[in-house]
Structure formats: C-alpha cells, structure tokens
Structure 1
Amino acid sequence: MNIEHVRDYTLSLNGVTEDQPFGDDNITFRVEGKIFLCLWLGTGNYNVDNDSLRFACKLTPERNEELRELYKNITPAFHWNKKHWSDVYFEQMEPDFVMGIIRESYGVIVGKMKKKTPATTQ
C-alpha cells in the first residue's frame, strides 16, 4: 500500500476531513474535528529512524499493546501519546490489514461521538 492509497482510503470514510495543522510534513485526518490518523509525508523533522513511511493512529490502549506485540511494523507513536497512539509502517504490511487498522482508528473516534450524543425521547 502506498501513501496515496492510504490518503484516498482514509478520505473515503464517512465525514472525514484532512488538514495540516502541524506543518507541511504531516496530514491529519479528522471526524467532527477529532484527529484519528496522522500521515507522515516523508519529509521534515519526523524522519527519526529511517525513511519508511508511516502513520500514527489512535486505538484503544489494549489494542495498541496487542498489535505491537504481534507486528514489528507497529510501534509506539513517535510524537503522540504512546498509550493511545501507534505508528504503522504501512508500506511493509498487507493493504487489507492496513485498511482494517484505519477503519478501527476511525471507529474509535466515531464510537466516542455516538456515546456523547444524547438519546432522543419520544
């Protein structure tokens, strides 16, 4: 999966917007203003280990631990809360798996929004 596939797939999810609040080397993806994924564009200050492209995504703490134990290409996020965010080196992983992680991260945010919506009364 390449960087354009990640971007296109993420933008295909319902209600997703993108912006660059942290500079030209990252794109953040949001739902209702809440960031769920930050895609590093391969430039700037975030090239800490190597040239492998990655995105940071928000998952539950338990899921982050599980994925980090199972996959060497999923690590604690470089510049995010390491309990809630993981870096995914997507070029080194199967596209279906990467899309599943993106959907899961999206679902974490959407799930929280649904819980905050007051129940309607009839």
Structure 2
Amino acid sequence: MDRHQVHQYFMSKPEATVSQPFGEGVDVYKVKNKMFATLALGKKMGDVESQLWRINLKCDPDEAHALRDIFSSVLPGYHMNKRLWNTVLLDGSIPSTEVARMIDNSYLLVVKKMPKKAQASLLLHL
C-alpha cells in the first residue's frame, strides 16, 4: 500500500477523522476522538535516514513483537509507547492485505476500549 491507499483505508473506517494536532506533516487518524493511527513522511529513525512514508498502529503487545520479528519494516512505535504501538514503513515489502489487517486490528483495539454503546454503533458498520 502507498500513502494514498493507506489514507483511503483509514478514512473508510466508521467515523474516522483526520487532523494534524502535532503540526503539519503528521496526520492523526481518530475514531470518536481516540487515535488509532498516524501517517507521516519518515525522518531519521535510529541511525537510518528514511524518506519513506510510515504509519503508527496500535497493536497487541505479543503480536507487536511477532510482527517486528517477521517484517524488517515493522519497528517499535516511533514517538509512541513501544509496547503497544508499531511503526510500519510503507516500502512495499509487506503485502497490502497484511497492512490492511494491521490497520483493522489497530482500529478494533481502540474501539474495544470504548463504552459498549459507542462500540455497538461502530461495529454495526464493519
């Protein structure tokens, strides 16, 4: 997936919104004011200078580590809680279906922390 496809996929989620609360260049995607993803052009990550687009996605801690072991383009969450968030570099090395699955999981993890009434209204549209 490229950044345009990722943006479209984020916005296809029920009640998804996008804003730039951290400043220009970092799109933050929320559902009912709760962040489920970010999209930004890469900057220096560790010792590597990267001009790749990257997304931050919420993840189950055990799955987060497994994904980092499987895919070299999945890293601990950049500027996020590294236990609960992964950064995914959009370098084309991860199949689109897997990126979509990771996005779906991030969205669902956020929705499942909401009150039951809010969950029900969102899950009806999935």
Q: TM-score, normalised by structure 1?
A: 0.86
| Aligned-pair CA distance for 1:75 | 0.5
**Map 1:1-122 → 2, pairs under 5 A:** 1-40=1-40, 42=41, 47-48=43-44, 49=48, 50-92=50-92, 93-113=94-114, 116-117=115-116
Which whole-Å CA distance do the structure 1 matches of 2:14 and 2:116 have between them?
Answer: 17
Instruction: Tell whether the 8 Å contact from 2:73 to 2:91 is kept in structure 1 after alignment.
Output: no
Which whole-Å CA distance do the structure 2 matches of 1:2 and 1:13 have between them?
Answer: 17
Q: Which runs of 4+ in 1 moved over 6 A?
A: none
Which whole-Å CA distance do the structure 1 matches of 2:105 and 2:74 have between them?
Answer: 14
Q: Which runs of 5+ in 1 are unaligned?
A: none
| Aligned-pair CA distance for 1:70 | 1.1
Q: TM-score, normalised by structure 2?
A: 0.83
| Aligned-pair CA distance for 1:77 | 1.3
Determine which structure has the larger helix proportion and give its number. 1
Q: State the Cα RMSD in Å.
A: 1.3
Per-residue deviation, residues 70-116 of structure 1 (Å, max 9, x unmatched): 11110001211101111001232211111111111001011111xx3
Which amino acid counterpart does residue 5 of structure 2 have in structure 1? H
Give the SS at the match of 2:53. Answer: coil
Which amino acid counterpart does residue 99 of structure 1 have in structure 2? A
Question: How many residues get paired?
Answer: 112
Q: Which runs of 5+ in 2 are unaligned?
A: 118-126
Per-residue deviation, residues 56-79 of structure 1 (Å, max 9, x unmatched): 111111111111111111000121
Which whole-Å CA distance do the structure 2 matches of 1:100 and 1:36 have between them?
Answer: 13
